[in-house]
Structure 1
């Protein structure tokens, strides 16, 4: 038996980032969609294909492989039975029918392999296209961490979601690439959703959410599904709808991703704690935060995760959400402790979160009667964020109202009023 290596398949796998095991898994899933039964392929099956030990897989397997790759089997270097892998079949009779069949066959083979430089074939999309989108997504995350809530960030993220979708129609792609493009579009749309939430533009946020959920379902990406539903929980919490927030958080927390990776479970429990603080459920808050801390300890620090999980990995997000929960409960001393820890853990580029947690720290200090210290703290919020970030602006106004109620005739009130005038005039 001729065992000439299938270098075409090997090259295709290298280009698209498949190992033998991952390609076997993808073909098994495609087989299950086609036949209703799970395929029995493993990495050794694919290695047999690459080594030339199997030159023409079974018909169902070929169909599944073609679904995964977007190419016919012959274009992947497979050779039909009875055909030599090293030479074309010898010519038979020179009758007109044979000439016609030979011509049609030659044209079909040329179209399938797409080797002729003059062939006008659609562009081939690959993981490099996805990689470029992921770089743009990292830029959106960085802008959010710096500024947050800005309409420009929302619009830019929405435009990039459309760009990712437009790529779907720009050429041929494997199912893996198509799923990754849908996941990228969902990720951009979820960032548009978050910018709208952060800017208190809730109608826009809900519209982005619906689009993001649809794209996430098409992608099958559990991480982006988690992000969208978790954002939905935060949106409803900010809107004062705790029942809806708890329900959305439950959808995120019940994804099997949270059982596979405790870091996602940590974020789910922590956001649930923040919402339970809104309801006044002190026992529920303690339980949820305990589960979050346990999950953080169990999480594998070496795993690769989405860029938006950075704050969860370093513990700053858990401290931030614990701060929000205890502040809502009126546990001001505990809130202050979490505020200090969060501000220590937050990375310097996360200016929006620094501003929010500084305002919360001031509220916790004011709640304990430390009026002068609270005013000193709140004045550390950068003026540009105070003036331009809707959520921070609201928090500072709430601080001013609480300050007037706590110490209406103090010099601290005058100090704060004069300071606030410097950013309210530019808001």
Structure 2
């Protein structure tokens, strides 16, 4: 069959830095958002489009292509059925001329919408720069956690991502990525507020993050925000609301596509079951979360926020929290040791939290000396500056004095905590 190469599509791909692989992946994602089912295109499919072997994709594919590129199929060089390529039509214009007309039209519209605003083209490189700065915030969160400064930096980065939306023209793909980035940054601000026990601030970030996630259409960030919402309600002592929010996250179809998301949703459900004193549900959720994690492809693409924290250590950390809430202190101690053995060295905040919980589990089993020795290993900065850790250690001290009043162990603990406070 005689075919005519689709030079317009090839030109658009060169201009926007797309390979056949990256364009097929973007179209697959757009199809998933449009239809609920992920597309099955690959680099060979895109090469077929460029070679002219496919002259008019089906309606769903055309809609996905428009979402990715911002252009109709004819503007990308595809030919409707019944029209021959030789028929004079817009798609046969010179690519450079068309590109000038298209971008010029967008520029004029933007200038009319925002008088006095300098116009420029916003691209994925702008998104990438924001994401690199986001990585630094995540790293700081793992070292310290809960600090208001981390919350403020994340919120400011979200505002910066939104400001970029109005700074120039962009494809649908870039705009969706900016909304997803802004939602991720606001979600990190929400998490820092939860970690610092600033629950009113966390709720304000939550509402903003949920709206941004809907604008982005990004399933991964929707999962993150609803999962964080469940955690917020769990810390606030509202388990029914926590389960409802976590169910929203668990019912997103990304959990069916990637077992790692399913595992995280089940792990957080397990922690809520602990607050509800539902031991059967807790143990079942742990087994299901472990099985889902074992099924997950270790090489699959996942967002940086998930890769940064969710692993075997975090699963045991959530099990530790759940069993402490349930009052099963022997099981809590078991999961604490498994968590601490698996934690990566940079996860300083997580190590301080797990160590504090381990001390509680040991003390509840009558092991005052071992528990105190464990609690003394928590670093001074975490013990005095991290709201959750500081509160857990205050509660540990009160429980220690109640169970071992007048003992040398209590004296040791009192002297050590005084030295911590003197350093602040």
* Cα-to-partner distance string for 1:314-372 (whole Å, 9 max, x where unaligned): 30111001111111122112111111111111111111011011111111111111111
Kept after mapping to 1: 8 A contact 2:33/2:217: no
Give the whole-Å Cα distance in 1 for the aligned partners of 2:92 and 2:271: 69
Which residue number corresponds to residue 82 of structure 1? 87
Q: Which residue among 101, 108, 115 is the counterpart of 1:111?
A: 101
Equivalent residue number for residue 240 of structure 1: 237
Report the secondary structure of 1:423's partner residue. helix
In structure 2, distance between residues paired with 1:163 and 1:354:
32
Q: 1:367 aligns with which of 348, 352, 364?
A: 364
Instruction: Compute the displacement of 1:406 (Å).
Output: 0.8
Give the secondary-structure state (helix, strand or coil) at the position aligned to 1:405: helix
Instruction: Tell me which residue corresponds to 1:225.
Output: 222
* Secondary structure, counterpart of 1:216 in structure 2: helix
Q: Residues 57, 293 of structure 1: CA spacing in aligned structure 2 closer, same or farther, 3 A cutoff?
A: closer
| Cα drift, residue 13 of structure 1 | 2.4
- Cα offsets for 1:52-83 (capped at 9, x unmatched): 56789899987875554235778756798534
Matching residue of 1:150: 147
Cα displacement string for residues 3-41 of structure 1 (whole angstroms, at most 9, x for unaligned residues): 664445224325145646346547868998xxxxx9999
Aligned in 2, Cα 1:272/1:311: closer, same or farther, shift over 3 Å?
farther
The 8 Å contact of residues 182 and 212 in structure 2, kept in 1 or not, is answered as: yes
SS at match of 2:237: coil
Correspondences of 1:14-413 after superposition (within 5 Å): 14=14, 15-16=17-18, 19=21, 21-22=24-25, 25=28, 46-52=46-52, 65-66=65-66, 68-71=68-71, 76=76, 81-83=86-88, 110-112=100-102, 122-310=119-307, 314-413=311-410
Q: Quick one: distance in 1 between partners of 2:363 and 2:274?
A: 19
Residues 6 and 374 of structure 1, relative CA distance in 2, 3 Å threshold: same
User: Which 10-residue stretch deviates more, 138-147 or 39-48?
Assistant: 39-48
Q: Which runs of 5 or more structure 2 residues have no equivalent in the other structure?
A: 80-84, 105-110, 112-117
Where does the alignment leave 5 or more consecutive residues of structure 1 unmatched? 33-37, 90-105, 115-119
Q: Report which of the two structures shows the higher radius of gyration computed on alpha carbons.
A: 1
**What secondary structure is seen at the aligned counterpart in 1 of 2:197?**
coil
Q: CA RMSD in A?
A: 3.5
TM-score, length of structure 2 as denominator length = 0.83
